[in-house]
Amino acid sequence: MSVNTDRSYKMKLRDVENAFKYRRIPYPKRSVELIALLAISCTFFLFMHTNKLNSRLKEMEVKLQPSEFSALGLTGNHISGHDAGKHDDINTLHGTYQYLKSTGQILQLNANALNNTKNAEIDVLFYNRVPKTGSIQFIELMKQLGKVHDYDVEKDPQNGGIIPLLETAGENDLIDNIVGLEDGTVFASHVNYLNFTKYEQPRPIYVNMVRDPVERVISWYYYIRAPWVFVPGRRRSNREMPNPAWVNTEFDQCVLNGEKVCSYIEGSLLERVGDHRRQTLFFCGHNEFKCTPFNSRLPLQLAKQNVEREYAVVGTWEHTNETLAVLEAYIPRYFADASRMYYSGLHMEKSNDNPMKPHIRQEIIDMVRRNFTREIEFYQFCRQRLHKQYLALKLNDLMRMDDSLVNLKQANELAIRD
């Protein structure tokens, strides 16, 4: 075979290989349309399924909130295994229920007796909001409810910053302003408990929120160091930028270094600027001598007395469902359907949430908690009172679910007859 013949043969062979390698197989037009229709159908199915799943998840999110008897750990007539170890902690709803039942006090609960709303002499809701307890979210809830129930929410601008402790003249003026509000008004202000009776003025409906005191001071520590807080404040008051070391010092380092701002000394007096250690102060009043010594017995006692005597509800976002249920039942004029309004979308909005706040080591938290004994006692007192109010509302349902309560009631009735 000649060289030219051999080259021609190889070229033909290569052409044949390329023809097979890059060949295009024509598809019928109907097959292409079928594939496109199938792709569109799959996309639509996935969209509808995802949308339905999202709706179901939202419904389950509300249903699975630890409210009603699931919060008590009751299933039928017995205690569920999951919650069986919780009954010794009286600071939980389940623990309060177990304690009251074991002592026979559960049958003495009376929702009307635990509700101070009836003692109000004017139709004004006074919310003396404690900083860093979720007050912005609570105010937003009331604003939304106000559109439904026809009431207004007025927020004290407090242009001079948070000044909870007022002189006598300032206290008197603020009380006069609140009394002068129209019926069906909410007034919210970062201010200590106001004693309207002391100034011979009609009392409003008192309400407030509390938070774990150590978590609250940690939240405040990082809140005032957030640039979106101190930069606008600096511009308003023409102050210099803060020291970078102050901004960048972590809370645990501040505690371990024994810095003044992180030294929680019992009996220490109120610092006029940026001192937010005392949650009891907002319930004690405006007597500087009695109410300002940190973590002391007298402020604790006065704060408890005012809550017991004056406040319709003191709730906490750490027990959201109980708080909303008690607000709905005890102050329906302002809070009817609060749970439904809250879980329709407000619960997803985190106001003043600070992403800069890091995880604090448990040993640091425990170290700080040892200096907050009475502040913690007050917080637990408010939680237990909230639990009692909630249980009083649910007493009849509890008796239907718990045979031991029925037996306890029958034993009490027999004892009375004997």
What confidence tens digit (pLDDT) does each residue in 221-258 have? Answer: 998 887 766 555 555 555 666 677 777 889 999 999 99
Higher local confidence (pLDDT), 170 or 14: 170
Q: How far apart are the first and last CA of the chain?
A: 130
DSSP, res 415:
H
Q: Which of 42-46, 86-90, 277-281 has the lowest mean pLDDT?
A: 42-46
CA distance 368 to 366: 5
* Phi, psi (rounded to 5 degrees) for 185: -130, 140
pLDDT at 59: 43
Contacts of 267 (CB under 8 A, 6+ apart): 293, 294, 295, 296
CATH code for residues 93-400: 3.40.50.300
**Domain range list for the chain:** 3-49, 93-400
Q: Measured at the alpha carbon of residue 308, what is the angle toward residues 304 and 309, in degrees to the nearest 5?
A: 115
**Mean pLDDT throughout 182-203?**
96
Is the pLDDT at 78 greater than 50, yes or no?
A: no
CA distance 73 to 77: 10
229 and 364 in contact (C-beta within 8 Å)? no
Contacts of 385 (CB under 8 A, 6+ apart): 114, 307, 308, 314
What confidence tens digit (pLDDT) does each residue in 333-379 have? Answer: 999 999 999 999 876 666 556 666 778 999 999 999 999 999 999 99
Is 49 an active-site residue? no
To which H or E segment does residue 210 belong?
none
pLDDT at 2: 55
Is the pLDDT at 294 greater than 90, yes or no?
A: yes
CA distance 212 to 76: 32
Three-state secondary structure along 285-305?
A: CCCHHHHCCCCCHHHHHHHHH
pLDDT at 150: 97
125 and 186 in contact (C-beta within 8 Å)? yes
Mean pLDDT, the chain, whole residue set: 80
CA distance 290 to 203: 23
Catalytic, out of 190, 276, 347, 387: 190
User: What is the residue whose two structure tokens read 């007859």?
Assistant: 417
SS3 270: coil
At 12, the pLDDT band (50, 70, 90 cuts) reads low
**Mean pLDDT throughout 203-214?**
98
185-188/205-209 β-pairing? unpaired
Q: How far apart, in Å, are the Cα atoms of 97 and each of 69, 78, 92, 104?
A: 11, 13, 9, 10
Cα 61–chain centre separation: 16
Q: Which amino acid is at 235?
A: R
CA distance 315 to 82: 26
What confidence tens digit (pLDDT) does each residue in 306-341 have? Answer: 999 999 999 999 999 999 999 999 999 999 999 999
Instruction: Say if residue 141 is exposed, middle or buried (CB neighbours under 10 Å; 0-12, 13-18, 19+).
Output: buried
According to DSSP, the residues that pair with 75 across neighbouring strands are 78
Is the pLDDT at 47 greater than 50, yes or no?
A: no
Is the pLDDT at 34 greater than 70, yes or no?
A: no
393 and 326 in contact (C-beta within 8 Å)? yes
Is the pLDDT at 11 greater than 90, yes or no?
A: no
DSSP, res 181:
S
378 and 302 in contact (C-beta within 8 Å)? no
CA distance 243 to 69: 51
* Phi, psi (rounded to 5 degrees) for 293: -55, 125
Contacts of 5 (CB under 8 A, 6+ apart): none
DSSP, res 262:
G
